[in-house]
Amino acid sequence: MSSSSGSSVRIPYTRPGLGASFGEVITDDDITFAIKREPVAARIVFAVAHDIFDSWFEVKELAEKPDETLDRRIQAALLDLKAKDVFTQMSVFERGYGWAIIVIGYEDEGETLADPLKDPTKIEELWPYAPTDITSIREDKKEDSERYGFPEWYFIKKPGMVRRLKVHYSRVLHFATRLLDHPYKGQSVLEAVWDDLTTLRNVRWAMGQTMYRYGSGFPDVELQGATKKKIDDFIDSQQFQEIHARSYFVHNEKQKLEFKGMQAAALNPEPYYTPIMENISAGSNIPMAILRGAQAGALTGSEVNEREYFKLVSDAQSRYEWGLRFLIEKLMEFNQIEGVEGKKDFEIVWLGGFELNERDKAAAEFDHARTRVLETNYMTVDEVRAKDGLDPLPDGRGNVVLGISKLQTATELGLPYTREKKEETEK
């Protein structure tokens, strides 16, 4: 464990002198190291990004008679572009570093990626890039421009590239969902919990050192009446070089060996570990049980944790959705979706990750059925059926309000159909 001057503590880094301490500016190198080496940081960045896109989505046409095959055709076009992998990787970059881009490889009249997009006819490829891949950005400096202060060109150089890529903004999807003090560079999800990640790492390091240094005890050798020279000679004999529980030490009555450890004097780490995890949970909006990777406690408690977690996932999906809509609309415009000509009005329906248990499913189905029965008191049968996507009954048999029919039948038969009528009949 490394430390800075004074009492501040750093996240131990692979190279001395690096690693952001409390209140210091966090660099991309610090973030990269934390994601690679901190289990909680990897969970917040990698695992959440994958949960956002793993279940993917369906596309539903908004039309009187929607095309039921539209989703299948769109998904085939997205698969050709490896859109799911690209957006997932973009989300890893955006969550980790605060922002990320997807460069769209168009077939157009521009000679290079540096040229503004001109008369595009096809999307050929998608490439995700992290801020660590972007060496510099040239901003629009024209004060009368709508993009004043925003990127005009991105300069990209990944490891192994011979030359930098100069990319015009018209060929880029720029994602930054947590803007705070910069117009287009967002905040990393790790920034709000950085000090707690630092503390947690040092607590874990201290726990490991406690076990290593004191957990199994250390040999305490007593040489009765020995001079310093005899003690030095005894040490030089290296009899304790490999001393452990399965080795042995031969001595006479003047020599004594004991293993001494902390003897229950070590601090219990749980009261210190828990508040740190609670802070990380609060800063990341991820329940502690999910941060730990297990649904601990009662079944209902686990479902509450899952619901809270998938609220976070759903919010992230809605913030990335504009990029997917842009991509799908362009594929329609360029006739890259088989059997689809021109644009169609559609909605993206994300497939949720949270599932109710069987008991809650049954309760939800019962509530749904009871609601439909109540609706028949003031809606026609066909209107109620339409809410569940069912066709009208043949021969107009569904064009009736069951509640009114029951009322009319009761009147014709002279039956007490209300409490007041019943009381009047009894009198």
DSSP output for 224-260? TT--HHHHHHHHHTTTTTT-STTS-----TTEEEEEE
Backbone dihedral angles phi then psi of residue 348, each to the nearest 5 degrees: -100, 125
Tell me the percentage of the chain whose pLDDT exceeds 90: 48
Q: Which of 156-160, 165-169, 412-416 has the lowest mean pLDDT?
A: 412-416
pLDDT at 127 over 90: yes
The pLDDT confidence band at residue 1, using thresholds 50, 70 and 90, is: very low
pLDDT at 308 over 80: yes
For 346-368, what is each residue's pLDDT tens digit? 999 998 755 545 665 576 677 77
State mean pLDDT over 376-389: 82
pLDDT at 323 over 80: yes
Question: What confidence score (pLDDT) does residue 370 get?
Answer: 81
Tell me the percentage of the chain whose pLDDT exceeds 70: 75
The pLDDT confidence band at residue 29, using thresholds 50, 70 and 90, is: very high
Question: What confidence score (pLDDT) does residue 392 get?
Answer: 86
Backbone dihedral angles phi then psi of residue 155, each to the nearest 5 degrees: -110, 115
Question: What confidence score (pLDDT) does residue 18 get?
Answer: 47
Alpha carbon of residue 43 to chain centroid = 8
> b/e per residue, 309-346, with b = 16+ CB within 10 A?
bbebbeebbebbeebbeebbebbbeeebbeebeeebeb
pLDDT at 424 over 50: yes
Question: What confidence score (pLDDT) does residue 59 get?
Answer: 96
Question: What confidence score (pLDDT) does residue 185 get?
Answer: 97
* Cβ(397)–Cβ(386) below 8 Å: no
